[in-house]
Structure 1
Amino acid sequence: MVVTVIGLLRFGFSLVFGITVSSLFAGISPTRENRRSTVFLCVLFLVCQTASWWLFGLDLTSKLYPVIIHLPLIVIFSLYYKRPWLISAASVLSGYLCCQTPRWAGFLAGAILKSRLADHIFYIAAIFLFYYFLKTYVAGSVRQLMEKSCKSCLLLGGVPLFYYLFDYITTIYTDVLYSGAEWAVQFMPSMISIFYFVFVILYYAETQKQAALQRERDMLDAQFRVAQTEFASLRQLQNNAAAYRHDMRHHFSLLQGLAAEEHIEEIKEYLRTAQSDMDAITPTRFCENETVNLILSAFAARAAHAEILLTVEAHLPDALPFSDTELCSLLSNALENAVLACESISECGKRRISLRIYSKNTKLCIDIRNSYQTEPVFYESLPVAKEQGHGFGTKSMVHIVEKHGGVFQFSVKDGWFIFQATA
């Protein structure tokens, strides 16, 4: 009598364990309302299970479990808790698989002590311990992996699904496994080995992908640091120009002295030198924004040195929703790519860059066009760098535009390579 009562309690605890573990894996938020609804579900299914035992007996109830417990639970997770169908199914199947460990603990204790009662008691004790372990160390990881992608969810649900089908076919609906059929004995080890190698392949691919992303992030960080350094250099040029202007009184004093002594040729030479020095350190003023002026001045000088015709139309206010380093990285990378493309053109007369940059409705609008020698190749709407280790500047530009909720486009039209962005 005691063994029967404890056995019935065992099935009740098993049901509650399966429901709560499935809820953890499904990612159902542990709010007060959800806790109440989970308790209600446990009571409801316990009543259904007990009624089925009373009407049909234990053996038939076990066979009806997929219909009276598992399938309704998947439907409730999906419709009431608004969880995706795939995650709901994988969670319920995983919860069923988790019942295997307490079952094995109970079986082992029963075999050692040669007692059916020990089997039930150790099974119930193992349920509490295993639930704590799953909730503390496993559920969070499983939940994140399931929500990561459909492929990840299918991979996680694959083993529980095959075990579920195997268990019901070979032990509940038939006794094939206990009869010692060779195919049944070999089935689960074979499936485990298959899933192991599939997991190894997918895990390796994922680690390679993560490593590539990390390398890319490192390169983008390096690009950003270069932009910061470049901007600091430009700012220093501006400071030098300010200092030079501040020292103009000294130059005037020297010129007055030379003029008093009528050294006309020395005055002319001194003025030529001073003019050259001023041109070298004074940024050209393109618009009201100082940062953009500094960047455009630097690239205007570089374009002139490379015999590239650079035309600039800039209408920007002093304040923009970008940091100085972001502006420097965005414009410097775009103009750097344009200059490099033009430098590869053999005929100097065909080296052309056109830049339009303006503000509209508090948005920064950029249109940069350059001529090219070889037509660019695109992959996923981005130009592909031909040299190894290049192309990170383009990705840095895209990252900055998307960071500010903007849109961008790379295109080729009428002999121009065009980069357009609004952010």
Structure 2
Amino acid sequence: MTVSAVLSLLNLASVGVFGIVLSAAFCDLEWTRQRKGILAVSTVLMLALQAVVSLHWGTSLARYLYPVITHLPLFLLLAVLTGKWLWPLVAVLTAYLCCQLRRWAALLVIALFPAGGTVLQDAMELLVTLPLLAALVRWCAPSVRSLSHSPLSLQLQFGIIPLLSYAFDYFTRIYTDLLSSGNQAAVEFMPFVCSLAYLFFVLQTNRQQMLRSQLEQTQNSLNLQVAQAVREIDALRESQRKASTYRHDLRHHLQYISSCIENGRTDTAQDYIRSVCREIEASKVTVYCENEAANLILSAFAARAAGCGVDFRVRSALPQTLPLPESDLCVLLSNALENALHACQRQNAAGLPAFIETSAYEQDGRFFLQLANACSTPVLFEDGVPVTRESGHGLGVRSICAIVEKYGGIYSFTQKQEQFILRISI
């Protein structure tokens, strides 16, 4: 056997090991001793089959039959080990695509030393196989493996280029001579695929960037509103604490008033009574339900509604513990009531009736909220969600939707009979 034939056979074996190991590294598997043993035995069997075909019929036929004697068994083996079918196929095709790196390293040397011919090319491919395999397994394989948990649509997108490269390589270089004969379609095919892939990548990147920007904007809005809601709750808690202090000190107030009356200072007593009443009324928190946060927010908006001349009615049966954190409950209630109050203020400005009706309760571990308010102005909806063209508005609705979707709940916005109704279930 000539040196050229030996190098060609060794190169065929090395590319087989390269592809098998890299395909296995691209699959997200815990490589136990048993699985490593299965892979090692399978590798030996596939290499033996390649050697038999090469020695009896030549390496050209071995390369011709390579998809059947190597790639198909490797795909079936990885499919059985992983319990999946799509990702093992993507892994095998991607590993085959990475074999181009070996070929290009050898072609670079051939370009510098053209007299070496195929012998030098096989030798260089053999030489770079192990270092290149180690580098790909160390730095590239973890990133490729992480994509195996992506949705099937993303896995298909990732595998389309390796699939086209695989089909192009075999049908234009191994099964036919279209590429070497200079067929224009064959020569231009991969540049065409690259241009399409680049445009698709640009469009996908732009779409993802827009979604990311929208999510960041929504997140920033939520963070600001949560901070505001927390500040409001702290202020209301302080007011409640002061009211508790006044109730605790009621005996001292009564003693002072009694002393004023006994000394004939009735005007002073009346003034003192009025001042105490004003302070207590200012810090009044109505008890609507057991949930402290809901009480504080409902109480604050009840006071604002009273100041605006809006009829404010509440039916609430919320326990202290709800299926969502206090911060998200604050954002939901505050945004919903804020929007309703703004609508009622427009009703008042137009000389129309203004009211807000809030119903909230918990049942079977789910939180339910319905808020209805007067609204005579037609509301613009897009995909069932109210929208506004006014700058700086609409963040409240987006915040409500984001929180409900965060917990897999449902929401609905409707307008009928000059009422706007929001329903939430989480």
TM-score tier after normalising by the smaller chain length:
0.7 to 0.9
- Structure 1 181/319 Cα, relative in aligned 2: closer, same or farther at 3 Å? closer
- Does residue 14 in structure 1 map to residue 15 in structure 2? yes
Aligned residues: 421
Moved more, 382-391 or 205-214: 382-391
Q: For residue 422 of structure 2, what is the aligned residue in structure 1?
A: 419
Kept in 1, the 8 Å contact 2:372–2:422? The answer is: yes
Cα RMSD after superposing both structures = 3.0
Measured after TM superposition, the shift of residue 380 of structure 1 is 4.6
Measured after TM superposition, the shift of residue 172 of structure 1 is 0.8
Measured after TM superposition, the shift of residue 226 of structure 1 is 1.6
- Does residue 37 in structure 1 map to residue 25 in structure 2? no
Kept in 2, the 8 Å contact 1:381–1:409? The answer is: no
Deviations 1:48-94, CA, capped at 9 Å, x for gaps: 32343355432222222233333444444445523352x34333222
1:112-123 pair list within 5 angstroms: 112=113, 114=116, 116-123=118-125
- Structure 1 327/194 Cα, relative in aligned 2: closer, same or farther at 3 Å? closer
126, 140, 143: which one aligns with 1:141: 143
- Structure 1 381/37 Cα, relative in aligned 2: closer, same or farther at 3 Å? farther
- Structure 1 207/288 Cα, relative in aligned 2: closer, same or farther at 3 Å? closer
| 1:35 alignment partner, SS class | helix
Q: For residue 163 of structure 2, what is the aligned residue in structure 1?
A: 161
- Structure 1 214/31 Cα, relative in aligned 2: closer, same or farther at 3 Å? farther
Q: How many percent of aligned residue pairs carry the same amino acid? A: 34
Moved more, 372-381 or 88-97: 372-381
| 1:121 alignment partner, SS class | helix
Q: For residue 95 of structure 1, what is the aligned residue in structure 2?
A: 95
- What is the TM-score when the length of structure 2 is the normalising length? 0.86
Measured after TM superposition, the shift of residue 414 of structure 1 is 4.0
Kept in 2, the 8 Å contact 1:344–1:373? The answer is: no
- Structure 1 190/318 Cα, relative in aligned 2: closer, same or farther at 3 Å? closer
Q: For residue 108 of structure 1, what is the aligned residue in structure 2?
A: 108
Amino acid at match of 2:364: N
| 1:253 alignment partner, SS class | helix
Q: For residue 350 of structure 1, what is the aligned residue in structure 2?
A: 353
Kept in 2, the 8 Å contact 1:406–1:422? The answer is: no
- Structure 1 182/322 Cα, relative in aligned 2: closer, same or farther at 3 Å? closer
Measured after TM superposition, the shift of residue 183 of structure 1 is 4.3
| 1:350 alignment partner, SS class | coil
1:152-231 pair list within 5 angstroms: 152-231=154-233
- Structure 1 43/313 Cα, relative in aligned 2: closer, same or farther at 3 Å? same
- Structure 1 26/233 Cα, relative in aligned 2: closer, same or farther at 3 Å? same
The runs of 5 or more residues in structure 1 that have no matched partner are none
| 2:313 alignment partner, SS class | strand
Amino acid at match of 1:82: G
The runs of 5 or more residues in structure 2 that have no matched partner are none
User: Following the alignment from structure 1 to structure 2, what is the Cα–Cα distance between the partners of residues 135 and 325?
Assistant: 45
Q: For residue 251 of structure 1, what is the aligned residue in structure 2?
A: 253
User: Following the alignment from structure 2 to structure 1, what is the Cα–Cα distance between the partners of residues 137 and 411?
Assistant: 47
Measured after TM superposition, the shift of residue 104 of structure 1 is 2.0
User: Following the alignment from structure 1 to structure 2, what is the Cα–Cα distance between the partners of residues 36 and 397?
Assistant: 55
- Structure 1 357/186 Cα, relative in aligned 2: closer, same or farther at 3 Å? closer
Q: For residue 372 of structure 2, what is the aligned residue in structure 1?
A: 369
Measured after TM superposition, the shift of residue 297 of structure 1 is 0.7
User: Following the alignment from structure 2 to structure 1, what is the Cα–Cα distance between the partners of residues 264 and 148?
Assistant: 88
Amino acid at match of 1:36: G
Q: For residue 314 of structure 1, what is the aligned residue in structure 2?
A: 316
Amino acid at match of 2:100: Q
| 1:296 alignment partner, SS class | helix
User: Following the alignment from structure 1 to structure 2, what is the Cα–Cα distance between the partners of residues 377 and 23?
Assistant: 55
Measured after TM superposition, the shift of residue 27 of structure 1 is 3.4
Moved more, 274-283 or 294-303: 274-283
Kept in 2, the 8 Å contact 1:231–1:325? The answer is: no
320, 326, 335: which one aligns with 2:328: 326
User: Following the alignment from structure 1 to structure 2, what is the Cα–Cα distance between the partners of residues 192 and 322?
Assistant: 48
| 2:424 alignment partner, SS class | strand
Q: For residue 284 of structure 2, what is the aligned residue in structure 1?
A: 282
User: Following the alignment from structure 1 to structure 2, what is the Cα–Cα distance between the partners of residues 168 and 188?
Assistant: 13
Deviations 1:316-343, CA, capped at 9 Å, x for gaps: 3334454433332222122222222322
Moved more, 292-301 or 361-370: 361-370
User: Following the alignment from structure 2 to structure 1, what is the Cα–Cα distance between the partners of residues 38 and 394?
Assistant: 53
Q: For residue 243 of structure 2, what is the aligned residue in structure 1?
A: 241
Deviations 1:11-31, CA, capped at 9 Å, x for gaps: 122112112222333434444
Kept in 1, the 8 Å contact 2:308–2:345? The answer is: yes
User: Following the alignment from structure 1 to structure 2, what is the Cα–Cα distance between the partners of residues 363 and 207?
Assistant: 34
Measured after TM superposition, the shift of residue 286 of structure 1 is 1.5
User: Following the alignment from structure 2 to structure 1, what is the Cα–Cα distance between the partners of residues 186 and 126?
Assistant: 28
Amino acid at match of 1:97: L
- Structure 1 127/354 Cα, relative in aligned 2: closer, same or farther at 3 Å? same
394, 397, 401: which one aligns with 1:394: 397
| 1:354 alignment partner, SS class | strand
